[in-house]
Amino acid sequence: MGRARKMRWALRQRAVRFIRSVDRAVFWPKPDGTKGEAFFYTAPGRHVYDYATWQQLGGLDYGTAPLTHENAFVWFVPTWSNVWGGGHYTLFRFAAHFAKKGIRQYIYCYDNDGRYPLAQLQADLDLAFPESGVRAIGIHEIQSCDAVLATTWQSAYFVRAFPAARRKLYFMQDFESHFYAHGTQSMQANNTYTFGFQGITGGLWNRQQFLNHGGQADAYNFSTDRHIFFPGDENGDVRPTVRRIFFYGRPSTERRCFELGIRSLERIKKRFPDVEIVIAGLDGLDDLPFPVTKMGSLTLAKTGELYRTCDIGIAFSGTNLSYLPVELMACGVPVVSNRGPHVEWYCKDGENALLVDPTPSAVEEAVARLIESQSLRQNLASGGLHKASLTTWEAEMDRIFDCISVSEVA
């Protein structure tokens, strides 16, 4: 059986996961030409949200008596399968830090359908942030509190309905309406930015999107854990020869531009056959058109170790910049990413990254320049190390805490 046929079969399997339609059965042919099994699918993430009362959503009735607000934050968070994932881990990082300020921190998974028992979620939190006191709770455990925080556009509809908080905040890590084609979901996401919540946004570009919808927000800068993400060479010197290229490949996340990366890497591998291609985050395809080393999902510590073995890092962002380029820079790895204001608020072309047009040939040429020029790699690595050194997570979290504390007084 030819490689092209295998690739088509794998891509068809992927298409089933992403198809958006009504429930029905589809039969795909197997690679040997025989009739495959039926796939039954439901359009993912197609729930239409509406305004509702807290009781209609299953919450408690707090009555009409004056409420005594607990000195606590309740974070409305989607369920997770990997506590180390960048978005979730950042939420929990902030919650754990705020807990050190004497404010109790609760995590409520608004979309938990019972697949993730509270005990399992709590075990994950305890593993990632031991002794932080951050606690996973169910909907009937939510009491009147100082603040509730939306963390996704879907969660904002739940936070809007919650009647027993003094303040409502929006922890916005990405401009989520850009996750979808313009339609119901994108409009419902944009609608949440008009709810009047105080914004806490990841980065300056994200803040501007929130302001464009009439809201007020403070932005935190992207940072790294310096005990995890640091250069392999204490002086930040790059290796003389490129042996390993890293790519963050996640087919299930459209904004990470998996197809662009694979087509680019195919060209790079043909041109530089001795260079090893390492892909982390791969979660869909068993067959690729070139040899790769697949790492899957890693803990933060393992991620830092992996980056230090790589000579070039490729990380695309179709919406707000991901944390990967920042972490690669902190490890002294030259970064290739795409152009656009959602990236360029942090990545500066020729200073701490090479920014390219979204075409395989442009990516190939940028990587070729890096492979063939140690001085270019060194300049970008040094620029990235400098940029990553300008702040820390602790400093950013303290600043955000001060901002929301000032707003409380105001």
Q: What is the pLDDT of residue 406?
A: 61
pLDDT at 167: 95
More confident residue, 282 or 234: 234
Alpha carbon 119 to chain centroid, angstroms: 24
What pLDDT score does 228 carry? 95
In one-letter notation, the amino acid at residue 76 is F
What pLDDT score was predicted for residue 249? 82
Q: What does the pLDDT read at residue 2?
A: 57
**Which three-class secondary structure state does DSSP give residue 171?**
strand
Phi first, then psi: give them for residue 276, nearest 5 degrees.
Answer: -80, 135
Q: How confident is the model over 278-293, as a mean pLDDT?
A: 80
Backbone angles phi and psi of 16, in degrees to 5: -60, -40
Query: How much is the average pLDDT of 87-103?
Result: 96
Give the pLDDT score at 24.
33
The pLDDT > 90 percentage for the chain reads 74
pLDDT > 50? residue 31 = no
Q: How far apart are CA 89 and CA 50, in angstroms?
A: 29
Of 390, 388, 351, 380, nearest to 238 by C-alpha is 380
Question: Mean pLDDT over all residues of the chain?
Answer: 87
Q: Which residue matches tokens 């007084």?
A: 409
Cα(260)–Cα(296) distance, integer angstroms? 19
Q: What are phi and psi of 101, to 5 degrees?
A: -85, 5
Residue 20 scores a pLDDT above 80: no
Q: What pLDDT was estimated at residue 282?
A: 67
Mean pLDDT of 228-249: 95
pTM: 0.85
Closest CA to 59 of 183, 144, 176, 177: 144
Tokens of 174: 């990405």
Which domains are present in the chain?
14-44 (no CATH), 70-223+392-409 (3.40.50.11090), 244-388 (3.40.50.2000)
Q: Is the pLDDT higher at 115 or at 94? A: 94
Q: Which residue has the higher pLDDT, 67 or 219?
A: 219
DSSP-derived secondary structure letter, 41? E
pLDDT for 4: 54
**Whole-angstrom Cα distance, residue 144 to residue 63?**
11
Place 211 in a pLDDT band, splitting at 50, 70 and 90.
very high
Q: Is 83 exposed, middle or buried (0-12, 13-18, 19+ CB in 10 A)?
A: middle
Q: Give residue 37's pLDDT.
A: 40
CA angle 95, 93, 249 (to 5 degrees): 135
Predicted confidence (pLDDT) per residue in 167-209, tens digit: 999 999 999 999 998 999 999 999 999 999 999 999 999 999 9
Tell me the pLDDT tens digit for each residue of 299-331: 888 999 999 999 999 999 999 999 999 999 999
Tokens 């994200």 correspond to what residue?
A: 206
pLDDT at 90: 96
Per the model's pLDDT, the better-predicted residue between 282 and 13 turns out to be 282
- Which residues make Cβ contacts (< 8 Å) with residue 376, sequence separation at least 6? 334, 369, 370
